[in-house]
Structure 1
Amino acid sequence: MKKVIYSVFTLLVLSAAGCSDDFFDINKNPNSPTTESVSPQLILPRVQHAVGARMAVSYDFAAHWMGYWARSGTYGPSQERESYNITNTFEQDEWNTWYDILTDVDIMEKKAVAEEQNFYVAIAKTLKSIGFMYIVDQYGNAPYTKAFDVTGNILPAYDKGEDIYKDLLLQLDEAARLMAGAAITTDMRNVDIMFGSTRGYSVDNQKLMWRKLINSQRLKLLIRQSEVFGGTAPAAEIAKITADGSGFLGAGQTADVQPGYAVVDGQQNPFWNAYEVTALGARDDYNRANNYVLDKLMNNNDIRYQYYFSKVQTKTTAQPNDYYGYNFGEIIPNNAPNAANSSDVSGPGLAKSATQPQWIFTSVESMFLQAEAIQRGWLPGDAKAAYENAVRESFTWLGVSNATATANTYLGENIANWDAPINANKINLIVMQKYLALVGINNFEAWVDYRRVGVPTDLPLSLAPGRGTNGIPTRLLYPQSEYNYNSANVASQGSINSQTSKVFWDK
C-alpha cells in the first residue's frame, strides 16, 4: 500500500511541475493541500523536485552573461539581458519562487520539529541553506529572521547578507548533528527522492549522503567568502566539517532528484524539457553555444564541447561545420546561420534522456571546491591531485568515452597543466577549470566565481550596441513586487545599482 501511495504522490509532484510552479504550492493554491493537512512526508519530494527545477532552468541569464550560451540567429536581441541595463522586473521570479519554495520548506521544518522527526528537520535546514544562499548571492540583504512570520510580521525587515550566511552555517551545523542521530522510518525512506530507497540507497548510506551534501554545502558557503577571509582561514568552521567525519560529495556522488520523470507533458526532466525537446515536440531554438567557451574548448583539445553542445541539425554551404556558436549580444545579419544551423545547449553529456535524474549539487562542483580549499590551506591534502581528480570527474560525469585517459591527455594541455608556467596562480587555474567543467550544469556558479575572483580573466563583454560602458551586473535588483508590497523595508536598503552595488562577499 505504501508503494501505491508514493507512486500517486509522485504523479502529483510531476503534474505540479507541468501545470505551473504553483500547482502543488501548499501556501497559495486552493487545489492543493492546506498547511493543516500536509505532513513533512508529503512536502519533502515536492520541495526537492522544486529545487532541482531551479537548478535546471533558472540561470540561463548567467549562462549568457558568462560566455556559456548566446542567442541564436533565429531571434532578435534581448535588450535588457544583453545591454546589462537590468530593471526591477528582470528575473524577478528568482526572488518570488525561491521564497515560495522556502516557505514550503519552513512549514516542513516546523511540522517536523513538532513531531520530533529530526530527519526532516535536518533536510529542511539543508534546503534552506541552498535557497537563502541563492537569494543572498543575487540580491545581498534580504528578509530572513522574519521571513516566514506571516501573521506576526507580514512586512519582514531585511537581514544583512553576511549575517544570513553566518546563520546558515550554524543551521548546517545543527543539520549535520540531527542527521547523524536521526531515526529513519520506511516512509522517510520512500519519499526521499534524492537519497532514499527509490534511489537505491540503504538507510546508512542515505544518512551518509545527506551528511556529505551538508558538508559540501558548508564548504560552498565558506568558499563564497574566500575574499572576505583573505589570508585568514575559517579554521573554526573547517574544524566542524572535518570533525563530522563524513567527508564531501566525491567521485560518482552527485546529489540529484528522481521523482519519476516520464515522457509525458509536464513530467519530463526539467533540463531536458527546457533545452532539448518537450513531450509535445517543441525544441529550444533560442539558446546556442557561445563562441567564447566553444573556442576555448575546441582550441585546447578539450572534447567536452561535444558533450555540452549538440552538432548542428542542418549544415549549409555557408556553414559547413559540425559545431557553430554565436557571440553574446552581437547583431546577427538576416542571412546568418539560424537555429537549425548552430549548436544547441543540450549536448549528450547534459541531456541524456527525458527521464534522467535532475542534478542539484554535482560531484564535479564539490571536488573543485575541495581542490580550492586544499590549495588555500583550509583542508589537508594534495592540491594538485585533488584538482586533477576534479577535472577527471568532469569527463566521467559527462560520459566522455575513455574518460580517464581523455582527461589525462587534456591535463597535459597548457590551459589545464598544473605545472605549466602560465598557471602559476593556482586558484585562478582551479576556478577556470571549474568554469569549463560546469558549462550548462551550474551557470550560476560561473557568475559567482567571476564576481568573487575575476575568473575567467578574458571573458568578453556583450557586443550589444546599447551596452555603453555597462559591465556584467554585480547583482540583481530587488523585484518590483517588493517595492509594491514591502516598500518601507526594501527602501531602507538604499539606492541599488546593478553595476556598482555588490553582495557582501564580492570584494
Structure 2
Amino acid sequence: MKKYIYPIFALALLTVTSCKKDFFDINQNPNSPTDESVTPQVILPRALSVTAARIGTNFDYAAFWTGYWSRSGTYGQSIEIESYNITTGFNSGQWTGWYDILTDENIMEKKAVALNQPFYQAAAKTLKAIGFMYLVDQYNNVPYTRAFDIQGSILPSYDKGEDIYADLLVQLDAAAKLFKGISTVDPATQAADVMFSGDVVQWRKLVNTLRLKLLLHESQVVPAATVTNVVSQITADGAGYLAAGESATVNPGYVIAVDQQNPFYNTYKSSALGVLDQYNRANNYILGKYAGADGVVSQNPTNAGDDDPRLRYVFSAAATPTIAGATNYYRGTNFGEVLPNSDPYRAANQSDVAGPGLAKSPTQDQPLLTSIESLFMQAEAQQRGWIPGAAATTYASAITESFSYLGAPGAAAYLTRPGVVFNSTINQIVFQKYLSLIGLDNFEAYVDYRRLGVPTDLPLSANANRLDRVIPLRLQYPQAEYSYNAANVAAQGTINPQTSAIFWDK
C-alpha cells in the first residue's frame, strides 16, 4: 500500500543516515537526506507546488464528466471513463497521490511544532485540509485520525466523511489563529513560501475561503449552528476572503525546461520539447453554452454575435480548420462519441483546451484557488444568508474577475445579457461559476453538479458501453486497499459509484 510504504521507507532512511559517523564516513553527500536536513522550510515549497499541480492537472475525468472537455478524434474510446463503469483501478493515483502529499505535510506540521515554527505549523494545517477535502469529495470515508500512525496502526481504520469535514474546520480555525499571531516572517520563510511570500494576511484569507468552501460543499446537510459558528470564527479573524486580484497561485520558479514548466501549460499545451496535447479537446456541450442563444459559435472574431467572449480564451482555434478559408474556427466533440480517425475528426481539426487565457506562458503561476472561485462562493453564501453583503454585486464581481483573469474583453456588456442579469437564484450563481472555472478548477464543477445538479441539462456520455449508467457519484477505493487493508475497507460496505454518494450529496 503505497502511502504506508513511503513513510516506513523514509523513517528507515532517516534512521540510517542520521547515525553517528564512523571510520568509513569520509565524505558527506549533500543529496543524502537526514532528519535534520528535512526541515519545514524544505518541505513547504514542494508541498505547495505539488498541491497546485495536482489540482490543475489531475482532474481530467471531472472535466469530461461535467461537459468541459472531450476526447479528440485522433484517439480511440476510453471505455472506463466514457462508460462510467468505474473499477478499483480507475484513477487510483488520486488516493496514493494525495496521501503522498499529506504525509509530507504531516511531517512538516510535526517538525514545526517541535521547532516552535508557527508559520509552518499553520501552513501544514491549511494544506492538509485541502488534501483531505479532495479525498473525502472523491471517496467519502477515508483514513484520517490514524492515517499517519505507522507504528500504532499500519492498517488504519477509516473515518466518516462528515467527521473529517468537521475536524478540518477545527484545524483551519487553529491555522487562522496561528497565522494571526505572527507579526513578522523571516526572509528564509518568505523564500520558501512560493505562494504568498510569507504574507500571513493572504494566508488567513485563504484559510477563510477554504472554510467557506467546506461549508458550501456540505450546504445540503450542514446544520445551521455549524454555519453560524464557522462564520463567526471567520468574522473574528477579520482578514476576510480572497478578493479580486488575490488568487492563491504557486510559482517555485517555472522555466522552459523539461519537468520545470508550469504544470497546466506543460500538460495541456506543450511540453518543453514541443510535444502537444492531442487528446483533450473542447466539449460541444460547453461550446454551445458559450455560443449564446443561437447555439452557434461564430467563425468571425470581429463580429462574434452573442458568443461568450471567454470562449476564445479558454479554448484555442483549430490548428487545421476543415472549412475553407476559416481562420478562427472552433470545433469540439461529443463526450463518448466514437468517431473515425479522419477529417474533420482529428485533433488538429478541433479546439484544444489550453486557450490563450489559460495557457498564457510556460512560466506562469499555477492556480491553487482563484479569486474567481472565492467570489462565486461568497455570492452563493450571501444568497443563502450565511454572510453579509449583496449577492448581486459579488456575482457581478466574480464574472468580471473571470474576464479579467483570462484577458477577455466585454465583461460589462456580458453582464447586461438576458440570462446573465442576476435573478437571485443560487442555480444562476453556480452556473456562471461553472462557465468561469473551466481549466482552473475542473473538480469543483463535479462537486457542484453532485450537490446541486447544475448544469441542469448536462448530457451523458454518448458511448454505447454506458448502457443505463449515469455520471458516477464517487470513485471506487483503490485495489491496494482491498489487498492490504481489507478489513477496514470492507467495513465501508459495498461501494457502487452509481449509487454510493458522498455524505454531502443529497
- TM-score under structure 2 normalisation? 0.89
On the 8 A contact 1:26/1:34 being kept in 2, the answer is: no
Residues 130-180 of structure 1 show CA distances to partners (whole Å, capped at 9, x for unaligned) of: 000000000000000000011111010000000000000000000000011
The aligned amino acid for 1:307 is: Y
The alpha-carbon deviation at position 37 of structure 1 amounts to 3.2
On the 8 A contact 1:89/1:479 being kept in 2, the answer is: yes
Assess, with a 3 A threshold, how the Cα gap between structure 1 residues 188 and 231 changes in structure 2: closer, same or farther: closer
On the 8 A contact 2:75/2:341 being kept in 1, the answer is: no
Query: Paired residue for 1:192?
Result: 193
Query: Paired residue for 2:66?
Result: 66
Q: How does 1:413-424 map to 2 (within 5 A)?
A: 413-419=417-423
Query: Paired residue for 1:304?
Result: 310
The alpha-carbon deviation at position 415 of structure 1 amounts to 2.6
On the 8 A contact 2:310/2:408 being kept in 1, the answer is: yes
Query: Paired residue for 1:215?
Result: 208
The alpha-carbon deviation at position 185 of structure 1 amounts to 1.8
The alpha-carbon deviation at position 451 of structure 1 amounts to 0.3
Partners of 1:175 and 1:233 lie apart in 2 by 18
State the secondary structure of the residue aligned to 1:329: coil
Partners of 2:426 and 2:223 lie apart in 1 by 13
Aligned residue-pair number: 467
The aligned amino acid for 1:393 is: E
On the 8 A contact 1:35/1:107 being kept in 2, the answer is: no
- Among candidates 408, 433, 439, match of residue 400 of structure 1: 408
On the 8 A contact 1:314/1:341 being kept in 2, the answer is: yes
Residues 374-423 of structure 1 show CA distances to partners (whole Å, capped at 9, x for unaligned) of: 0000001111111111111100011113xxxx11211122231114xxxx
Q: How does 1:448-459 map to 2 (within 5 A)?
A: 448-459=447-458
- Among candidates 227, 234, 240, match of residue 233 of structure 2: 240
State the secondary structure of the residue aligned to 2:215: helix
The aligned amino acid for 1:452 is: R
The aligned amino acid for 2:337 is: E
The aligned amino acid for 1:431 is: V
Query: Paired residue for 1:328?
Result: 335
The aligned amino acid for 2:455 is: P
List gaps (5 residues or longer) in structure 1: 1-21, 197-202
On the 8 A contact 2:251/2:365 being kept in 1, the answer is: yes
Partners of 2:67 and 2:10 lie apart in 1 by 38
Partners of 1:436 and 1:311 lie apart in 2 by 18
The aligned amino acid for 1:170 is: V
Assess, with a 3 A threshold, how the Cα gap between structure 1 residues 228 and 481 changes in structure 2: closer, same or farther: same
State the secondary structure of the residue aligned to 1:86: coil
On the 8 A contact 1:431/1:449 being kept in 2, the answer is: yes
On the 8 A contact 1:233/1:378 being kept in 2, the answer is: no
Partners of 1:27 and 1:460 lie apart in 2 by 49
Query: Paired residue for 2:263?
Result: 270
The alpha-carbon deviation at position 428 of structure 1 amounts to 0.2
Partners of 2:222 and 2:324 lie apart in 1 by 52
Identity percentage over the alignment? 56
On the 8 A contact 1:233/1:377 being kept in 2, the answer is: no
Q: How does 1:424-439 map to 2 (within 5 A)?
A: 426-439=425-438
On the 8 A contact 1:73/1:332 being kept in 2, the answer is: yes
Partners of 1:476 and 1:28 lie apart in 2 by 33
- Among candidates 226, 232, 246, match of residue 219 of structure 2: 226
State the secondary structure of the residue aligned to 1:364: helix
The alpha-carbon deviation at position 317 of structure 1 amounts to 4.0
- Among candidates 344, 353, 368, match of residue 352 of structure 2: 344
Partners of 2:32 and 2:196 lie apart in 1 by 26
- Across the aligned residues of Structure 1 and Structure 2, the Cα RMSD in angstroms comes to 1.8
Partners of 2:165 and 2:395 lie apart in 1 by 26
State the secondary structure of the residue aligned to 2:281: strand
The alpha-carbon deviation at position 301 of structure 1 amounts to 2.6
Assess, with a 3 A threshold, how the Cα gap between structure 1 residues 411 and 193 changes in structure 2: closer, same or farther: same
Residues 276-310 of structure 1 show CA distances to partners (whole Å, capped at 9, x for unaligned) of: 00011111000000000011002253111101000
The aligned amino acid for 2:395 is: Y
State the secondary structure of the residue aligned to 2:221: helix
Partners of 2:502 and 2:195 lie apart in 1 by 31
Q: Give 1 or 2 for the bigger CA radius of gyration.
A: 2
Query: Paired residue for 1:146?
Result: 146
The aligned amino acid for 2:264 is: F
Assess, with a 3 A threshold, how the Cα gap between structure 1 residues 209 and 332 changes in structure 2: closer, same or farther: same
Partners of 1:317 and 1:327 lie apart in 2 by 19
The aligned amino acid for 1:33 is: P
The aligned amino acid for 2:141 is: N
The alpha-carbon deviation at position 29 of structure 1 amounts to 8.8
- TM-score under structure 1 normalisation? 0.89
State the secondary structure of the residue aligned to 2:307: coil
